[in-house]
Amino acid sequence: MLLKKRILIIGASGQIGTELTAHLRNKYGNLKVIASDIKEGDDAIMKSGPFEILDATDYDTVQDVVMRHEITDVYLMAAMLSATAEKFPMKAWNLNMNSLFNILNLARDKKIEKIFWPSSIAVFGPTTPKVNTAQRTVMEPSTVYGISKQTGERWCEYYSKRFGVDVRSIRYPGLISYKTLPGGGTTDYAVDIYHKAIKHKKYICFLNAKTTLPMMFIDDAIKATVGIMEAEGPEIKIRNAYNLAAMSFNPEEIAASIKKHIPDFEIKFNPDFRQEIADSWPQSIDDQEARKDWGWKHSIALDEMTEIMIRNLKK
């Protein structure tokens, strides 16, 4: 089984895809992991193994890449994030849904064996209880991105039940990394703040001081992604998407953590349209089902993450 495993990562040039590709190539061998994206990635991705330019919404091209490389597992990381999706609702819907249907249909037709598809805390909405948000609760997402992720979750569960498709998903919180920038998300401030702190010792935040959101360092996100994909089938009891948590903080708290390294760092606040998106999301997440079903455990908290971010961005 492992011998014939061949992985396709769609969206390999993005924030998660870049690090996921490196991790999986390390683990399974460079030639077994095909990276793909609509645009080229950084040197590490392009030079360490096969790469295909791929439009995830184009079924024929996706199928061609899958058949040509004899792909067994697909990680579908291409998506339009929350802030950009508010500007281009139909484009976001088209990308986020059609890319998912393409992969689900390939699995239904037995052309691939296993799918990872990321969901998000954006599936929750303003009517969801905000603290320690449960796996199953009120879900009335109010953003284009959240609607697409919530709908995607329903379809994943449907394809699993009706066609036996092995699809696995987690609801990522905001993700913080130093190798590749996120693009167009509401939680992006928590990456940008480190870059600006190092460069200018100043940051103007587009969310207000007290906006607490669930967050996670990229290493934990990669660990969760690979962890759920490697779990034995029967361990995966939820086929829409698992809640997943590591830490929660607000802009004031991340600024305080940065000040321990850069004492004269200053933060100011100038909330824009993203404030309303953030206000519609939970502050903290109850992820006990992921911990119980497939052994999820996070390891990195705010101060450790700050130390890692600052040390690496200074290089």
Q: Which residues are catalytic?
A: 145
Q: Which of 122, 197, 222, 246 binds ligand SER (CB under 6 A)?
A: 122
Q: Closest separation between CB of residue 46 and ligand SER, Å?
A: 25
Phi, psi (deg, nearest 5) at residue 42: -75, 170
Q: Does the CA dihedral 88-196-221-132 come out positive or negative? A: negative
Q: Which of 76, 81, 92, 167 binds ligand SER (CB under 6 A)?
A: 81
Vertex 61, ends 118 and 152: CA angle to 5°?
25
CA 244 to chain centre: 11
Stretch that binds ligand SER, among 37-45, 52-60, 66-74, 120-128 (CB under 6 A): 120-128
Site string for ligand SER, 124-163 (x = CB under 6 A): ---------------------x------------------
Q: Closest separation between CB of residue 3 and ligand SER, Å?
A: 35
Q: Which of 17, 185, 227, 251 binds ligand SER (CB under 6 A)?
A: 185
CA distances 32 to 3, 103, 115, 280, Å, are: 10, 19, 16, 40
Which residue lies nearer to ligand SER by CB, 72 or 82?
82
CA 263 to chain centre: 31
Q: Closest separation between CB of residue 216 and ligand SER, Å?
A: 10
Q: Closest separation between CB of residue 274 and ligand SER, Å?
A: 8
Three-state SS for 112? Answer: coil
Stretch that binds ligand SER, among 26-34, 40-48, 115-123, 262-270 (CB under 6 A): 115-123
Per CB under 6 A, does 82 bind ligand SER?
A: yes
Chain position whose Cβ is nearest to ligand SER: 185
Residue pair 128/139 in contact (Cβ under 8 Å)? The answer is: yes
Q: What residues contact 230, with CB distance under 8 A and at least 6 apart? A: none
Tell me how far apart the alpha carbons of residues 235 and 286 are, in angstroms, rounded to a whole number: 19
Tell me how far apart the alpha carbons of residues 236 and 216 are, in angstroms, rounded to a whole number: 22
Residue ranges in contact with ligand SER by CB under 6 A: 81-82, 120-122, 145, 172, 174, 185-187
